[in-house]
Every structure is written in structure tokens, then in C-alpha cells.
């Protein structure tokens, strides 16, 4: 079935005008952000913590040879309870709490729960300390400032774990070795953070281009509406002329043409 060009153009412009509406655009943006924080990220959190549990299981079985079912079950209960509670709180509080971003809050607490998993994998003896770099890696596509903020957090969390082991568990800590690990974590986080700067610059350029294109499209829509209004006014004038002069059914263009025809005596 062939669609006339004018009809197709009008449909496209009407859809375009709907997409370019500022209120509609902000509403769609809010819906995307809500869906990201309340549905997609909790699913990724569940999958990620499942991988962390699997990593602790394999680590304690084949690397440290210190696997214990009671200890692993406690860790699994902590992880499952945390993921379920965070999902529930996000569902109820994300759209209601305006004082702070609830989604970012749980991105922060994720790091501390990962540190708990490292503790159950042997603490300072665990090979899983590298998982603390994941938070910075998944924030690269947000902004440089935000990624840099998360670069400091894993070092703080790991340091608090070491203090707990030293003060509560009364285990001797090899501080030079552990400080070296913390420097590795911090250096890797900073390196990953640097990747956020060019990504943010490209994203800003894309945003600027989209904004310019949107302004141009808005002008096109406005001009098309003006043309349609002018067309309607012209047709209205033609009908009015026909009503005023019912004996002359010719169009204004035909009347102008006849006025220039030579007349015979």
C-alpha cells in the first residue's frame, strides 16, 4: 500500500512534534531513570552478587582450602537479604525521597557488602580484593566526577576491614603488604576513572549536537505549521470570494489570467 508523500510527512511531523515537546521529553527521561534504578540495576546487583558468591566458593575451595559451609551460608544469607531489602527500598523510596539519591546510596553500600564477602574469603589473605575495582568500572559512563568519587570508596572500605580484623579478630596484619594492595586498588581505580573523561567529553558533544538538531527540527515543525495555517487561510479566502461572487466560479488565478487577454471590438 502506497502512502502519499504529504500524508507521510504530516504523520512524521506530528510524531516529531510530540517527541520534541519539553514536558513529554522530561517525563520520558524520568521514566527511564526510574526504570534504570528500580528494575535494571537491582537485577544487575542480583546477578553480580551471585558471581561474588560463586567467587568466594571457588576461592575457599581451591585457593585458600578453607571452605566452611556454615560460613558460606551466613555470607549467602547476608547477600540475599541485602539484595532483596535494597530492591524493596528502591521500589518504595526512590520516587518519594528527594533529600538524596537512593540509587546512589545503594551503589555505595554495595562496596561495603563486597568487602564483607572478601572478609569471608579470608580477609587480608583473600585473592578477591580486585572485585573492589568493579564499582569504578561500571561508573565510567556516568561522569568523571562521580567515577572519581567512587575511586576513593573501595580503599576506605578495605582499610576499615583491615582495622576490624586487627582490632576485633586480633589477627596480625602485615601492613606493608596490605598498604601495597590498597595502593594497587587505588591506582587501578584512578586509571579506570581517567577513561571517564574522554567518554564524558564525547557524551557532551553528542548532547550538544542533539540539542542543536532538536532546535532545528522545532523550527521545521513551526514553519510547517505556519504553511498549513496559511494554506487554510487561502482556502478560506477562496471560498469567501466564491460566496461573494456566485456568478464567477473561476479561481483567482484564472481571473487574473483572463484580465490580460486581448479583447476584440
Cell numbers for 102: 537512593
The confidence score (pLDDT) of residue 221 equals 83
The confidence score (pLDDT) of residue 9 equals 43
Q: At what angle do helices 5-19 and 22-35 cross, to 10 degrees?
A: 60
Q: Quick check: 55 and 72 in contact, CB under 8 A?
A: no
Residue range 179-209, pLDDT digits in tens: 999 999 999 999 999 988 887 888 788 878 8
| Lowest-pLDDT range of 25-29, 62-66, 170-174 | 25-29
Average confidence (pLDDT) over 88-105 = 96
On the CB side of 78, CA atoms within 13 Å amount to 19
Distance between CA atoms of residues 144 and 179, nearest Å: 26
Distance between CA atoms of residues 7 and 60, nearest Å: 67
Average confidence (pLDDT) over 44-72 = 97
Q: Quick check: 52 and 117 in contact, CB under 8 A?
A: yes
The confidence score (pLDDT) of residue 64 equals 95
The confidence score (pLDDT) of residue 247 equals 61
Tell me if 127 is assigned to some domain.
yes
The confidence score (pLDDT) of residue 18 equals 46
Tell me if 219 is assigned to some domain.
no
> What's the pTM?
0.77
Tell me if 135 is assigned to some domain.
yes
> Domain span at residue 147?
8-210
* % of residues, the chain, pLDDT over 90: 62
The number of distinct structural domains making up the chain is: 1
Q: How far apart are the first and last CA of the chain?
A: 56
Residue range 15-30, pLDDT digits in tens: 444 456 778 878 888 9
Tell me if 260 is assigned to some domain.
no
The confidence score (pLDDT) of residue 248 equals 54
Amino acid at each position: 500500500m502506497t502512502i502519499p508523500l504529504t500524508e507521510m510527512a504530516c504523520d512524521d511531523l506530528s510524531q516529531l512534534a510530540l517527541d520534541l515537546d519539553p514536558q513529554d521529553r522530561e517525563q520520558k527521561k524520568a521514566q527511564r531513570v526510574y526504570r534504570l534504578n528500580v528494575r535494571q540495576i537491582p537485577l544487575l546487583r542480583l546477578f553480580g552478587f551471585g558471581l561474588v558468591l560463586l567467587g568466594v566458593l571457588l576461592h575457599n575451595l581451591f585457593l585458600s582450602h578453607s571452605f566452611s559451609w556454615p560460613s558460606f551460608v551466613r555470607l549467602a544469607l547476608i547477600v540475599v537479604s541485602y539484595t532483596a531489602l535494597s530492591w524493596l527500598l528502591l521500589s518504595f523510596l526512590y520516587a518519594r525521597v528527594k533529600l538524596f539519591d537512593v540509587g546512589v546510596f545503594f551503589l555505595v553500600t554495595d562496596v561495603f557488602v563486597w568487602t564483607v564477602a572478601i572478609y569471608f574469603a579470608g580477609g587480608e589473605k583473600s585473592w578477591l580484593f580486585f572485585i573492589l575495582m568493579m564499582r569504578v568500572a561500571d561508573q565510567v559512563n556516568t561522569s568523571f566526577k562521580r567515577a572519581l568519587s567512587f575511586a576513593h570508596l573501595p580503599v576506605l572500605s578495605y582499610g576499615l576491614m583491615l582495622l576490624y580484623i586487627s582490632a576485633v579478630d586480633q589477627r596480625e596484619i602485615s601492613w606493608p603488604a596490605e598498604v601495597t594492595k590498597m595502593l594497587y586498588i587505588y591506582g587501578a581505580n584512578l586509571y579506570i576513572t581517567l577513561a571517564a573523561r574522554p567518554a564524558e567529553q564525547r557524551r557532551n558533544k553528542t548532547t550538544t549536537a542533539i540539542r542543536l538538531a532538536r532546535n532545528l527540527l522545532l523550527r521545521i515543525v513551526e514553519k510547517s505549521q505556519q504553511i498549513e495555517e496559511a494554506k487554510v487561510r487561502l482556502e478560506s479566502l477562496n471560498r469567501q470570494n466564491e460566496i461573494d461572487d456566485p456568478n464567477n466560479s473561476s479561481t483567482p488565478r484564472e481571473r487574473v489570467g483572463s484580465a490580460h487577454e486581448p479583447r476584440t471590438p
